[in-house]
Structure 1
């Protein structure tokens, strides 16, 4: 979704009554730079200015941000500084290993700026991910970062009503007056029930998405959950007309851009076995088709579950979902397990990404180390500062751009800057023009239209 898409419904968002609006996480920066070729910082500034009635949120992913490898402290510190300077009012952080030391520094720095903070306890199902573990991690976030809120982050859509009945009271018991947020996805069809049950048990905030961006891979539907909460007797001060206007605009954008709409899904018990995000499942199918191995898809899903168990149950969110998935694909395609080892897997077992929650079987650990790249050091070291060299190499740029260059290699930032300087993505027609073209085309008596927007000329002919 482009920034102009968001701005086209910003007034309704501002008047809808949302306490906070999630705007930016590393994936939004990634998509803006690499695919949309838009300046993500300009998005933050524009949306923040136009959304005074809701607090704009940003999420930090461990010490990776939009990269895979850890970034140095000078980049993380400056990232927090620039989020605040550009208008973000609430900053949170999560780590896929629930290694609180990977995120506490950023949260402390955000708190020093006077913005609200939340720390995520990332959820998944495994023998090591017990209620006791999640409670301990919440306590650690409070002790080390003094966060204002704890977010129970279920990116895999794995929470069930039964699990939420034990987990929410356990977390609330150690949080004092801090806010408990529940964030889940609709991958198994249970997310709406999970949110309703969480509220009944005392959760202070739930994360929803306006349909048709909800359901499926997304969060539960704002419209549906608000309706159900009201039926249970809760007062929800959300403007239904504003929400409907947002929903209608999203549908228009989806139609114009040829994007699918979110749809409710049926319960899927298989998801609890592999716990793989929906987008990665599509990638698996594509990779196997390319290799002529489409008939081994179910085998691959079982291999994902096996690899995850062997690697001490990392939570299947970025970047660990990609690590596990890539290793599983290589195991299936190579015919011998762990014969081919990606660099990231070797770094993972060596502790480059943080402390693991369980031990990896020694024989497997040695095989991974032996088959991985020989130039990876056996002891991880703190990455060297990056900003001084970026400033020296690009003296005419600003800190926001240096921070993008720290994460996006090659010419990606240059291509983004060039596209922005030229007035937008050359591959996309600005939103107002798209609607105009569509209307003229449909109303044309002879089926022809010839349109010109600056240097862009468009000819439409229904007969061809």
Structure 2
């Protein structure tokens, strides 16, 4: 019998790569025993990046879900693991040290065994502290290599990073092929290099199906010493998600590997129950495009999980570009034309911003730079004209060191803007924050929860947690669900239904001119990455709420009035509005 290979079910990532929300606690508790009954999983991914945030947005307590889910799996001897974004922990922007360190204590107490610690730039400075804190909390830290294909991402580059993570205390290494563009032969060679040098280190492979290489990659890494493979189950496998465990098991078994048997009766139960979750409510937030594989992903390297939001963003930019082209008497561009232009522009931008691995949040930043370039080129303004603080933060080194070199054009543009590059350790730029959050908990008389897990949720996701505690999150979610159901049924939503859950004491953000809506390019989470704001987002009086592209081609800043909390959005990215239309409603801060 050949080498033994285990399977890890990435149920959280299956939903993350398909749609907006995760199953509820009661659903996870129902399906966990069936995963056990399947008999083929040594591990299950239970939570991590975006899981907790989207639970809060649905008005659910993620701590209850994680505890209940992990307890069932632990009793059967199945290990649990979570996704951890290093410097960004469980969110899209950097997290202070004291909150990050607390996360491992809380998650271990809740029953999570293994944090998969990755950094979107593969910067060891963002990974090593998390490895240390995870070990101190009693967890098994898994270091991660974010796989991509570029001139700077060589075998030696990744082998060195694996050495650094193991030296920092990582007990396992994951090859995270988040876009599925890792070349099979390369991944096989990398697996062998690491295993030959570190034979006792457990290696796990995580590869998305998007461009279709993942099955070949799984066979190659298996031949070269991989220990664990991340797999999915129907009805969410394949597409932009992951290969199905049945196909992976069959392939490896035929190749002579020692793989676990699958209880097919239990598989069919899990398949049916997952479909039930989809039919009940989760399916209303699944983008159909994420069920389709595409070889076009190979050249641009964008991860499959963001393709749905990318297509929505592309539609808005296409409308603006075609409006400009029409005025110039030029032929309008089709969606396919725009898609090719975007992929070509990503290929142009990516090397010039230093080849950041295209994973959250840097995939969103890179895509947004390319989208805005297409628009500003059409306007005759050239490239790199519209970039926000998040995009510049990546370029300037505030989030870590990019693997390659920033081009001279961007260096000169930064100097013109008075922006400074930094090589400071990113986590040293953030002051500790727990004391302020403790004060807020005390002032609101909120319970800290078991092992201070409620304090952790506030500190990790402050805006979403406050919205959850007020009950507004649940109201917003129910309104979104009803609207999604009505839209799917083709029903016309009345004004009364559309405003049923709008906060009574809110100010309308009114369009001062006719034009087209564009949002700020900084989101908080994977729900609509880096473009469209989320319900519950808070604004200051001085903030810009959005931009309107006027008929004469200029962007008009729309202020957030007196500031406050966003409670309703009435316009989408790229949608056309008239002067006097209500764009959104913001709950005034003095009545929050």
Q: Distance in 1 between matches of 2:473 and 2:305?
A: 32
2:423 aligned with 1:382 = no
Write out aligned runs for 1:351-430 (5 A).
351-368=397-414, 370-371=416-417, 382-395=429-442, 396-397=445-446, 398=448, 399-410=452-463, 412-419=464-471, 426=478
Contact 1:80 1:110 in 2 (8 A): yes
Mapping of residues 77-92 of structure 1, within 5 Å: 77-92=101-116
Q: Pick closer, same or farther for the CA change 1:378–1:131 going to 2, 3 Å.
A: closer
Q: Which runs of 5+ in 2 are unaligned?
A: 1-21, 322-332, 486-592
| 1:234-245 matched pairs, under 5 angstroms | 234-240=257-263, 241-245=265-269
SS state of the match for residue 316, structure 1? coil
Match of 2:204 in 1: 181
Cα displacement (A) at 1:231: 2.3
Is residue 2:202 matched to residue 1:155? no
Unpaired segments of 5 or more residues in structure 1?
435-464
1:230 and 2:283 aligned: no
| 2:467/2:473 contact within 8 Å kept | no
Distance 1:266 1:361 in 2: 33
What's the offset of the Cα at 1:128?
Answer: 0.3
Please identify, of 89-98 and 246-255, the stretch whose mean Cα deviation from structure 2 is larger.
Answer: 246-255
Q: Give 1:369 deviation, angstroms.
A: 5.2
Aligned residues: 425
2:374 to 292, 307, 332: 332
CA distance in 1, matches of 2:93, 2:431: 12
Instruction: Report the counterpart of residue 302 of structure 1 in structure 2.
Output: 344
Q: Which moved more, 1:340-349 or 1:126-135?
A: 340-349
The DSSP-based 3-state class of the residue aligned with 2:44 is strand
Which whole-Å CA distance do the structure 1 matches of 2:307 and 2:415 have between them? 28
| Aligned-residue offset at 1:264 | 7.7
Displacement after TM superposition at 1:422 (Å): 8.1
Matched, 1:197 2:217: no
**How far, CA to CA, are the matches of 2:415 and 2:72 in structure 1?**
51
Q: 1:303 to 1:163 in 2, by over 3 A?
A: same
Cα distance in 2 between the residues matched to 1:377 and 1:274 = 28
Inter-partner Cα distance in structure 2 for 1:420 and 1:230: 51
* Contact persistence 1:80–1:109 (CA under 8 A): yes
Q: CA deviation at 1:280?
A: 3.0
Task: Output the TM-score relative to the length of structure 2.
Answer: 0.67
1:98 aligns with 2:113: no
SS in 1 for 2:168: helix
In the TM superposition, residue 263 of structure 1 has moved relative to its aligned partner by 8.6
Give the one of 127, 137, 141 matched to 2:151: 127
Find the counterpart in structure 1 of residue 302 from structure 2: 276
What corresponds to 1:215 in structure 2?
238
Deviation digits for residues 104-163 of structure 1 (CA, Å, limit 9, x no counterpart): 111122122332221001110000000111100000011112x22110110010123222
CA shift at 1:426, angstroms?
A: 4.2
Helix, strand or coil for the counterpart of 2:87?
A: coil
CA, structure 1 residues 237+424, in 2 after alignment: closer, same or farther (shift >3 Å)? farther
**RMSD of aligned residue pairs (Cα, Å):** 2.8
**Mapped partners of 2:302, 2:172: distance in 1:** 27
Tell me which residue corresponds to 2:559.
none
Contact 1:186–1:264, Cα closer than 8 Å, also in 2: no
Shift of 1:168: 1.6
Instruction: Note the alpha carbon deviations across 1:428-448, whole angstroms, 9 max, x for none.
Output: 99xxxx9xxxxxxxxxxxxxx
